[in-house]
Structure 1
Amino acid sequence: MTTNKRASDFVVGLTVLLVVVVLIASTLWLKQADLGGRTKHITVRSRDVGGVALGNPVVIRGVRAGRVEQIALGDNDWVVLRLGFDREIELPNDPVVLLTASSLFGEWQATVTSRDGVPPDKVLKAAIEEARTSGDTLAGAVLPDIAQLTAVAGRISGDVAQVAERVQVAFDDAAARELRESIRNFAKLSSELARTVNAQSKNLDKISTNVQTGLATINDAATRLNTFSGRVDSATSRGELQTIVTNSQNAARELVQAAQNLKALTDRLDRTESNLASAVARADSVFAKANSRDGTMGLMINDPGLYRQSDSLVRELRSLVADMKKNPKRYINVRVF
């Protein structure tokens, strides 16, 4: 009897002990207690946490790596979260935390990503920049969930409906006729523009041909200039250009000397001209006096009677000379004693 009682007590005690162990293990499993010290924690601060709750998963590069262990209100209207995950997991470079909805049923998660992986949303980036600190606390921000996006989409659809209604009111039969007329005018304008383009394309072809001809001429001139430059370079290297320059300098000096000699000769000619003018004036004065009847020479030149008398005198002298040659004794009488 006593032995059976002891066996029953032992079974009851063992059962109670097993139940306690199971309860403790279940509690630790439900709380995901870190019994081996393999969990590390990071602190995140954000202005809002959206629908994030305790126990929500922490996701790194799409893989569940931990859970949200604590959510508390901080100073200056900040919300502070503590995330726990395995120590062997490495965080991305320059990490930030995005609090996002993971499904349509209200489930949320904390996604750890690099700052470069943040979506290009100005409001989101501004919230992350505002939450940055100089310590180990990471910056966090809430991505818009499906409900917010749906509300925004509803507002957008309402605005689109209002715009469509206004367009329908404005676009009546008169507007349709005006639109058709505008389309016809646009077709005519397109035809005119096509004809103009065709006409101008021919002119452009001519201009292109002229441009090509001009370019060919320029290329020819450049080739000639290059040849001339080569010749000048060759002449410079052989000293011919220096010789030409020296000869030009010598010729210039000789021209200057010739110009000086010519100037001196001109001065001499000026003086000679002055003397000749004076002599001509004097000769003119002499000729004027000779031409007048006042002097002896003037009378000899201008008096015909004197000329006739002189001519008669000359004839008589000739006759006398002839008679002296014929009868010399009549004029010369030589006696010798």
Structure 2
Amino acid sequence: MTTSKRTSDFVVGLTVLVTVVVLIGGTLWLRQADLGGRTKHLIVRSRDVGGVALGNPVVIRGVRAGRVEQIALGDNDWVVLQLGLDRKVELPKDPVVLLTASSLFGEWQATVTSRDGVPPDRDLRAALDEARAGSDTIAGAMLPDIAQLTAVAGRISGDVAKVAERVQVAFDDAAARELRESIRNFAVLSAELARTVNAQSRNLDRISANVQTGLGTINDAAARLDAFAGRVDSATSRGELQTIVTNSQNAARELVQAAQNLKGITDRLDRTETNLSRAVARADSVFAKANSRTGTMGLIINDPSLYQQSDSLVRELRALVADVKKNPRRYVNVRVF
């Protein structure tokens, strides 16, 4: 009887112990307690968390890497979240946290991504910049969920309906006729524009041909210039250009010397001209005096009787010389003692 009682007590105690262990294990499992120190914690700051709740998954590059452990209100209307991640998981460079709806049934998740992978939304990026606090806190922001997107889409559809109603009111039969007339005018304008484009295309073809001809001429000129540059380069390498420059300098100096000599000759010619003018003036004075019938020279030049007397004197001298030759004894008497 005693043995049976002890056995029953042992079974009851064992059952209670197992039940307590199961309850404690279940509680720890439900709370996902970190018993082995395999979890690291991240602090995230955001203005709003939307529908994020405790236990929601934390996703990195599409893979679940942890869960949301705590959500609390912070200072200055900030919401602070604590995320538990596996210590083996490496965070992306410059990480941020995006709080998004993961399904249509109200399930949310926290996505850890790099700042470069954030969608190009100005408001979203502004919210992340505002939530940045320090090295131990990661900036977070909430993406619009499906309900918000549906509400926005509803407002947009309402605005489109209002615009459609206004268009229907404004677009009556008269507007339709005016629209048809505008379309007809546009067709005429298109035809005119096509003809103009065709004409201008022909002009452009001619211009293109002229441009190609001009480019050919420019290419030829460039080739000649290149050849000339080659000759100048070869002449420079052989010293011919230096020789030409030296000869040009020598010629310039000789030209300067010649100019100086020519200036001296010009000065001497000026003095000679002055002397010649003086001599001409004196000769003119002499000729004027000779031409006047005064003085010895004037009488000699202008008196015809002097010429006649001189001519008769010459004839008589000739007759005397002839007589002396013929009868020398009459004029020369030689006596010898």
How would you bin the TM-score normalised by the shorter chain? Answer: 0.7 to 0.9
Q: SS at 1:246's partner residue?
A: helix
> C-alpha root-mean-square deviation of aligned residues, in Å?
3.7
Residue 249 to residue 305, structure 1, CA distance change in 2 (3 Å): same
Residue 293 to residue 128, structure 1, CA distance change in 2 (3 Å): closer
**Residue 9 (structure 1) shift:** 6.0
**Residue 176 (structure 1) shift:** 3.0
Residue 22 to residue 264, structure 1, CA distance change in 2 (3 Å): closer
Residue 75 to residue 297, structure 1, CA distance change in 2 (3 Å): closer
Q: SS at 1:149's partner residue?
A: helix
**Equivalent residue for 2:128?**
128
Q: Once the two structures are aligned, what percentage of the paired residues are identical?
A: 80
**Equivalent residue for 1:71?**
71
Q: SS at 2:110's partner residue?
A: strand
Q: Aligned letter for 1:256?
A: V
**Equivalent residue for 1:188?**
188
**Equivalent residue for 1:295?**
295
**Equivalent residue for 1:57?**
57
Residues in 2 aligned to 1:154 and 1:85: alpha-carbon distance in whole angstroms: 38
Residues in 2 aligned to 1:37 and 1:275: alpha-carbon distance in whole angstroms: 132
Q: Aligned letter for 2:232?
A: V
Residues in 2 aligned to 1:307 and 1:335: alpha-carbon distance in whole angstroms: 38
**Equivalent residue for 2:143?**
143
- Aligned counterparts, 1:66-145, within 5 A: 66-145=66-145
- 2:51 and 2:106 in contact (8 A); partners too: yes
Once structures 1 and 2 are overlaid, which stretch shifts more, 151-160 or 222-231? 222-231
Deviations 1:39-84 (A, max 9, x none): 4433333222212223333333333343333322222222223333
Q: Aligned letter for 1:44?
A: V
Q: Aligned letter for 1:106?
A: G
**Residue 3 (structure 1) shift:** 7.0
- Aligned counterparts, 1:138-217, within 5 A: 138-217=138-217
Residue 220 to residue 8, structure 1, CA distance change in 2 (3 Å): closer
- 1:324 and 1:331 in contact (8 A); partners too: no
**Residue 164 (structure 1) shift:** 1.8
**Residue 325 (structure 1) shift:** 6.4
**Residue 152 (structure 1) shift:** 0.9
- Aligned counterparts, 1:306-317, within 5 A: 307-308=307-308, 313-314=312-313, 317=316
Q: Which runs of 5+ in 1 are unaligned?
A: none
2:274 paired with 1:274 = yes
- 2:324 and 2:331 in contact (8 A); partners too: no
Residues in 2 aligned to 1:103 and 1:185: alpha-carbon distance in whole angstroms: 54
Residue 9 to residue 242, structure 1, CA distance change in 2 (3 Å): closer
Q: Which runs of 5+ in 2 are unaligned?
A: none
**Residue 156 (structure 1) shift:** 1.0
Residues in 2 aligned to 1:207 and 1:77: alpha-carbon distance in whole angstroms: 71
**Residue 257 (structure 1) shift:** 3.4
| Paired positions, count | 336
**Residue 213 (structure 1) shift:** 2.8
Q: Aligned letter for 2:195?
A: R
Residue 121 to residue 243, structure 1, CA distance change in 2 (3 Å): closer
Q: SS at 2:41's partner residue?
A: strand
Q: Aligned letter for 2:130?
A: E
Deviations 1:73-132 (A, max 9, x none): 222222223333444444434333322222222222233333333322222222222222
TM-score of the two chains, using structure 2 as the length reference: 0.80
TM-score of the two chains, using structure 1 as the length reference: 0.80
